[in-house]
Structure 1
Amino acid sequence: MIANTSQVGSIHMTAIHKMDSHLGPVYRFQGISVPKQLNINSYTFSILRERAQKLNSSKFLDQFNDKNVNEFDNKSHDEENLNKSFN
């Protein structure tokens, strides 16, 4: 997480990958960002952009199982009820 967006220098969205899961299609957005304090030339940044286009093979969809989705749904409903009680 970034505390302040003024810390972000160059940023580039490199790829959007459609992935199938048991919940239906999921889209994975990939990109790169370089801190403002880090000065790199355009050639170096282009190499980073090319490498960031490849699908990241982390186990993201394995973490996205029914139990986690149900927990997320319950938390969302709890937040809605909490917000209603304050209004």
Structure 2
Amino acid sequence: MSTVEIVSFGYLHNAPPTAHLTIDLRHHFRDPHVSPELRYMTAADAPVRDAVLNTPGITGLVDATATAVAAFASGPSAGPVTVADG
């Protein structure tokens, strides 16, 4: 499989970066940053990952994203695939 680059960005800060697949998460789940206990943590911290992975519907979205990435990676011009999550 090709290399996959995941770029996180904020719609309030800039336009989405150039990517093969851009996923708008603004209405899908609540940003962990708004929880005072998670505000100063990152995705490297288990409580943040748990908050995101316990969001209803997130597993289906991750699975669908993986399927789309695999489709891009298997195309005739296969190479690195960039996914932007905003």
Q: Tell me if TM exceeds 0.5.
A: no
Q: Normalized per residue, which structure has more helix?
A: 1
Question: Larger RCO: Structure 1 or Structure 2 (Cα < 8 Å, ≥ 6 residues apart)?
Answer: 2
TM-score scaled to structure 2, two decimals? Answer: 0.31
Name the larger-Rg structure. 1
Q: Normalized per residue, which structure has more strand?
A: 1
